[in-house]
Structure 1
Amino acid sequence: MTTSTLALRRGALTLAAASALVTATLALAPASASANDYPNKPITAVVPFGAGGGTDTQTRLWGEAMAPLIGERIIVENVAGAAGVIGTKQGIAAEPDGYTVVMGVASTITINPFTNPAADYSPMDDLQPVAQIGYTPYVMVVANDLGIKTLPELIEYGQEHEGELTYAGWTGVGEMARKGLEVKTGLKMTPVPYKGMVEAMTDIIAGRASGTIVDLASALPFIRSGDVTPIVMTGPDKSPALPDVQTIDEAGVKDYFIDSWVTLFVPKGTPMEIVEYLNAKTREALQTKAVQDRYEELAIEFRDYDVAQTEDFIQRQINGWKTLIDETGSGK
């Protein structure tokens, strides 16, 4: 091989390598630019339930507080149906660019994947936890016309009026709460499915449904208006909002705990710079006075978790609910 031929081949190889480098750089440029100037358009927050419930309320509070901090609007999109599965799957299928986020709750993240055949997704594989939006206890409420004030009274009523009690349900958490209570106390309530909280509470108020177990943030307006009767907190602690309502432990039920939370997720594959940005801005937004005052009014707790703490919380919730599902034989 001549010297000139060798030089030409080396030149060609160098040119090819340079071309490959330019191509790779250009391929990476849009992603980097996207992360660097994020956000530069409105963000859609998918709420997998109808408007008016606790998840919707917290999402809108978060969105209003976030907008001035990030310089873009948060557009809330309610996608109800299939106990939250439809909206959750829509969030999973979105582009992982930070412009679509999805609100996850216990039913959609820690229950449906183990109990609902339509929930053919794996939360920790398909979604990235970002930040906790709020934490709230659950409460059992019943129709006023039952004349019942405590859980023991409801159990006694159920024994004396077999088959008459109905349970309004619209989430996986609520259904697991009903099943768990039946296992622990023998209380039998016929489940009646509803599309969302507003429809369910409307029927309880009218006496067409006997009661339900629901997050306190959703139930509080109906309790304060006197439209339904709270009979027990389904966690270990009393609520300052309802100081006269017994805890589940005080009502004589042991090893039973139902709680509620709303957590911000993005599709898996979203750049970590965006995930960390959303976490930081969310924590800032939720500590503003307007949000804190409203959270106190709604009996919602704020937990200042970074991304790693949020991931750990979700994983522990998944493990705990999976155990309860196994105990009640509710797996799919």
Structure 2
Amino acid sequence: MASKTTGKTMIFWRKKKDEIPTNDAAPSQAEVTASPAAAELQPQIQAQPEPVAEPVVAEEQSSGNWMSRLVGGLGKSTSKITQGLSDLVTKRKLDQDMIDQLEEVLITADLGPKTASRIVTEFAEGRFGKDMDGDEIRAALADVIARILDPVNKPIDFTRRDTGPFTVLVCGVNGVGKTTTIGKMAYNLHKREGKRVMLAAGDTFRAAATEQLKIWAERAGGGIVARDIGADSAAVAYEAYAAAKAEGADVLFIDTAGRLHNKKNLMDELQKIIRVLRKHDENLPHAVILVLDATTGQNAHAQVETFRDMVDVSALVVTKLDGSAKGGVVVGLADRFGLPIIAVGVGEQAEDLQPFHPDAYARSLVGVGI
């Protein structure tokens, strides 16, 4: 193993291809040179390039500021729900017609028919025939939604294992924000908890993804393992774990290329990464995080279903909530799959990705206290 240190960012590489395992479950030399352009892989030892647009990192925000950001980020979703409620009721008795209309409002906010039906059923219990105004309805809805979200509030413990770094494989379809999510999580873990982080540039199809990770690694005071475009991503993951273990890193994040959930050959590549990692330790990766783009709405369900079956997803991160009126999809995902939702994103800055809190999310979504 050789390394070059540039500032705080370390780039590791192997000098010899035969250091990569060549058995059936690990990348062979043919697999490592996956494309003609990568026939002779060269170590990436160049100095950090000047980025065109660096990741935005601001000062630490208080919980109050995060609540303001969450409210602002969910503004489009909240407006859709609150406008629907305003059109629905001034002050009247809760009857079946109102319940049906309320269910329709929730469906339009992308909670999904099944989840919307569950919410209005629980909401109506003990309230049918009673007078309710808009504020009372929103408060009651927030309580029901928070109860649905509470079971998926299971943060990941990123504590280093005795055998090596806590290893996280991050996956998702194209354009959901995997690379920036990794960068933000690494930065936040380092700044808030003092974790030593290592990043693996497993998206070997996009040079921009590697450049982004290099910048984030430097900001997080950590290292990065990267190879040339076209390199085998399983080989990168294998090398990254060895480097992270040798350097005493607490957490290793492995980026992967975006892949459509309905393309079997691309999904098979994810399984290969896991097989190769397990040549180090049968318990790797310790977590598989699926990143979802809120703007895809109900299509996120299909993505969870496929990725979960292929790579045993451990947890979800939902991004781009600030660009969508479909914030209700988080509730639908929690209700249907029960997978932990560990973070939500409402903007470009590092502090715009924060741990998921059911009550805060529920209240923000329906406009309670706004």
> TM-score, structure 2 length as denominator?
0.25
Larger proportion of strand = 1
> TM-score, structure 1 length as denominator?
0.27
Greater C-alpha radius of gyration: 1
